[in-house]
Amino acid sequence: MKRNLLIGKYWDPEAVLKGLDKLTSQGVHIFDVFSPFPIHGVDPYLKSKRTRLTVASFIYGCLGFLTAVTMMSLIYGVVWPMNIGGKPALAFPSFVPITFELTVLFAAHGLVITFFIVGNYWPGKRARLLDIRQTDDVFIIAIDKDKLSDESSVKAVFTDTGAYDISETEYER
């Protein structure tokens, strides 16, 4: 989906926060903020939903737990039972380390794979940047032009808060 964006480029993260404060007080919908590093305090302005990665992590961890317990129960209890030192074939306390490790392994790998799928990332994918320097030292506030009522007031806010460049661009997510 292509979007027409009005972008303001800044050198300073504090100026970005001031710009976001003024824009949201005027009722302007912020499309996104691009920065070379996380800026503390930006999330409330973007009105982001709470992530569901914790739920995914729990599900992947449960899957790892069930895989570990099932595999060890079948292998050591049914397929290949052994009597070592008089211990029972299904000595569950000895399963704890492997169960823990498989739980963590499934959760970690599942989250990484989920992040890449949901974020639409894959190896070799070309990055879509609004400015080539946004990964180095430029901070960008992007406003969706289709949701704007007064473009001149947004440009005035960009100028007042210290944006060094204001431009329009197309962006496809």
Read off the pLDDT of residues 67-83 as tens digits, 9 standing for 90 and up: 999 999 998 888 888 77
Average pLDDT on 136-164 reads: 88
Strand 2-10 relative to strand 30-34: parallel, antiparallel, unpaired? unpaired
The residues near 39 (Cβ < 8 Å, ≥ 6 apart) are 13, 16, 17, 33, 139
User: H/E element holding 137?
Assistant: none
User: H/E element holding 103?
Assistant: helix 96-118
What are the structural domains of the chain? Answer: 2-50+132-172 (3.30.70.260), 53-118 (no CATH)
Task: Identify which has the larger pLDDT, 60 or 159.
Answer: 60
The residue length of the chain stands at: 173
Angle CA(138)–CA(3)–CA(141) in degrees, nearest 5? 25
pTM score, whole prediction: 0.70
How far apart are the C-alpha atoms of 154 and 22, rounded to whole Å? 9
pLDDT at residue 173 tops 70:
no
pLDDT at residue 47 tops 90:
no
pLDDT at residue 172 tops 80:
no
Strands across the sheet containing 30-34:
30-34, 139-144, 2-10, 165-172
Mean per-residue pLDDT of the chain: 88
Closest CA to 30 of 159, 129, 131, 148: 148
pLDDT of residue 161: 92
pLDDT by residue (tens digit) across 102-112? 999 999 999 99
Average pLDDT on 139-146 reads: 90
pLDDT of residue 100: 97
SS3 state of residue 53 = helix
pLDDT at residue 55 tops 80:
yes
